[in-house]
């Protein structure tokens, strides 16, 4: 048997999944790693631990699959925007990675907007100016790590998002690369030219010498160093986690949309070769780049919710209301409704459509009768309600009503949450049989590049429905619920603004 190995490096864990030619999971290995919170609003990862966990699960998955000789190709998918700077000579990080959730550069983003750069940045990158993206994180590292800026200008340091870090480590430091989907999340990448942009580099004072080469999402990037995984293996696919999930959901035609329920929620709609400029504070992003040159790009509209599964983790670790994440469904089901309690999980600010880096988490509407179950149900509702805001914005930008939403990610297996999602959207929610679509998308990209799969049509036939959730709320009830939610959101905004 021959398989494809997907390395799925996420925000809270590193995973390795081996897929067969039918797109089915053969083996899976996973390890969590530490979340570092140096001060309020800051989130960091130890890149050494990321590599150690990713390397360990890759070896474990390969061994379970029958050894490295069974692996035809490797695809990489990763938490996006998380920013890392390392020494080219030693391969050692010069500081902890700054995670996508980190808000330390929110004030810098306020300054850039105040100076009138928002329209130009959106025109070139498709992004809003926000601390979410890698550009201001990189600028912060260059300014705050002693000697980093001078060393970067001298070509001694390398910048990368986590895909770049994994490629570097897998190749023994031979290859410094990122794909276009990850590059498009930096605020430094020009969507029209498909390349790093000098004007944006100047704006954020980023030396070009620190940047990785931008490569195709599906195509041979490099081969691994033989000492890393036991033999040389082709790295042939790279995509940020949400773009990979979109590809894995086979959302290849304009107008098709998916939502991934992971640490955050990320909804993407394929717009094909057209760069749609959002009028509703969505992002225009690269979906994936083909092998035929830097401008051979497929684009997506994206809405970003920062706290989804992480909200359930907070219930578990912060409040200790549950002992394990799956318990939230049964706890929330103990009550018929939230008792007018709303949780706005703006622990890392608000993403689409509010983009408020100064918002913070808020729990409103509690009475003496409020129980653990009410808070658990409010947490699940918050995930679905945030996604409903994104869906509404996406429908307005698309100019056509979206008739269904494909879903994936760990929390998509929560039936109560998926029913809530259908209720709040007013359209069916469709869950596929294989919900590991992020890793599967990376595998598909690598497998297509190496001939493991002949063409997209072969892959398209593998997508099958597991369950379809139909909306049950009346339109009047749905509208009232969304309006009440927006009242709660307004109470969370601007909390840390001085």
Binding-site positions read 11-13, 15, 80-81, 132, 241-242, 263, 309, 313, 410, 414
DSSP letter at 93 equals B
E-assigned strand segments in 142-208: 157-160, 177-179, 189-190, 195-196
List beta partners, residue 144.
none
Paired tokens of 429: 């929610």
Residues in the annotated binding site for glycerol: 80-81, 132, 241-242
Q: Is 302 helix (H, G, I), strand (E, B) or coil?
A: strand
Residues in the annotated binding site for ATP: 11-13, 263, 309, 313, 410
Tokens 């070896």 appear where?
59
Please tell me the distance from the alpha carbon of residue 426 to that of residue 384, in angstroms, as a whole number. 12
Contact assessment for residue 48 and residue 138, using Cβ atoms and an 8 Å cutoff: no
- Report, in angstroms and rounded to the nearest whole number, the Rg of the chain calculated over CA atoms: 21
* Distances, alpha carbon 317 to alpha carbons 31, 313, 323, in Å: 17, 6, 8
Closest to 242 measured CA to CA, from 229, 261, 223, 224: 261
* Distances, alpha carbon 482 to alpha carbons 76, 298, 374, 474, 488, in Å: 37, 32, 18, 12, 10
Furthest C-alpha separation in the chain = 63
Contact assessment for residue 238 and residue 167, using Cβ atoms and an 8 Å cutoff: yes
- Return phi, psi of residue 16, to 5°: -135, 125
CA 490 to chain centre: 25
Cβ neighbours of residue 156 closer than 8 Å, sequence gap 6 or more: 87, 88, 89
Contact assessment for residue 430 and residue 407, using Cβ atoms and an 8 Å cutoff: yes
DSSP letter at 184 equals T
Q: At what angle do helices 134-144 and 106-114 cross, to 10 degrees?
A: 110
Please tell me the distance from the alpha carbon of residue 418 to that of residue 412, in angstroms, as a whole number. 6
Tokens 């919170």 appear where?
37
Residues in the annotated binding site for ADP: 11, 15, 263, 309, 410, 414
List beta partners, residue 97.
45
Q: Is 123 helix (H, G, I), strand (E, B) or coil?
A: helix
Q: How many CB atoms lie within 10 A of CB 498?
A: 4
Residues in the annotated binding site for sn-glycerol 3-phosphate: 11, 80-81, 132, 241
Please tell me the distance from the alpha carbon of residue 355 to that of residue 128, in angstroms, as a whole number. 8
């Amino acid at each position: 048997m021959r398989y494809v190995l997907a390395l799925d490096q996420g925000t809270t864990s590193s995973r390795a999944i081996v897929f067969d030619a039918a797109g089915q999971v053969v083996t899976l290995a996973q390890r969590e790693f530490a979340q570092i919170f140096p001060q309020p609003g800051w989130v960091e990862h130890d890149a050494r631990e990321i590599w150690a966990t990713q390397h360990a699960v890759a070896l474990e998955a390969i061994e379970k699959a029958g050894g490295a000789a069974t692996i035809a190709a490797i695809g990489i998918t990763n938490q996006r925007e998380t920013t890392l700077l390392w020494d080219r000579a030693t391969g050692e990080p010069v500081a902890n990675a700054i995670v996508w959730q980190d808000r330390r550069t929110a004030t810098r983003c306020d300054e850039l907007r105040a100076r009138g750069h928002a329209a130009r940045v959106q025109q070139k990158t498709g992004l809003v100016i926000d601390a979410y993206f890698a550009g201001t994180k990189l600028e912060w590292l260059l300014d705050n790590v002693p000697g980093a800026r001078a060393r970067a200008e001298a070509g001694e340091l390398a910048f990368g998002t986590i895909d770049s870090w994994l490629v570097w480590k897998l190749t023994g430091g031979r290859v410094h690369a990122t794909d276009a989907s990850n590059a498009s999340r930096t605020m430094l990448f020009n969507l029209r030219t498909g390349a790093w942009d000098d004007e944006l580099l100047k704006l954020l004072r980023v030396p070009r010498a620190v940047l990785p080469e931008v490569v195709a999402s599906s195509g041979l990037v490099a081969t691994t160093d033989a000492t890393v995984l036991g033999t040389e293996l082709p790295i042939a696919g790279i995509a940020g986690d949400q773009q990979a999930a979109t590809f894995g959901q086979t959302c290849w035609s304009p107008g098709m949309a998916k939502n991934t329920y992971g640490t955050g929620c990320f909804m993407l709609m394929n717009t094909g070769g057209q760069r749609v400029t959002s009028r509703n504070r969505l992002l225009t992003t690269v979906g994936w780049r083909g092998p035929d040159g830097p401008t051979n790009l497929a684009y997506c509209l994206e809405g970003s919710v920062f706290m989804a599964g992480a909200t359930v983790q907070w219930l578990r670790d912060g409040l200790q209301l549950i002992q394990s994440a799956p318990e939230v469904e049964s706890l929330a089901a103990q009550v018929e409704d939230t008792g007018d309690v709303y949780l706005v999980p703006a622990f890392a600010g608000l993403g689409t459509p509010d983009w408020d880096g100064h918002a913070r988490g808020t729990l409103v509407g509690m009475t003496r009768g409020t129980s653990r179950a009410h808070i658990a149900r409010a947490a699940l509702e918050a995930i679905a309600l945030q996604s409903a805001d994104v869906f509404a914005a996406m429908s307005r930008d698309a100019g056509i009503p979206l008739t269904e939403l494909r879903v994936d990610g760990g929390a998509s297996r929560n039936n109560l949450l998926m029913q809530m999602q259908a209720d709040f959207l007013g359209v069916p929610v469709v869950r596929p049989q294989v919900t590991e679509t992020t890793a599967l998308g990376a595998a598909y990209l690598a497998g297509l590049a190496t001939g493991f799969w002949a063409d997209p049509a072969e892959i398209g036939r593998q997508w099958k429905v597991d369950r379809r959730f139909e909306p049950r709320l009346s339109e009047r009830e749905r509208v009232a619920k969304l309006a009440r939610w927006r009242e709660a959101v307004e109470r969370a905004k601007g909390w840390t603004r001085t």
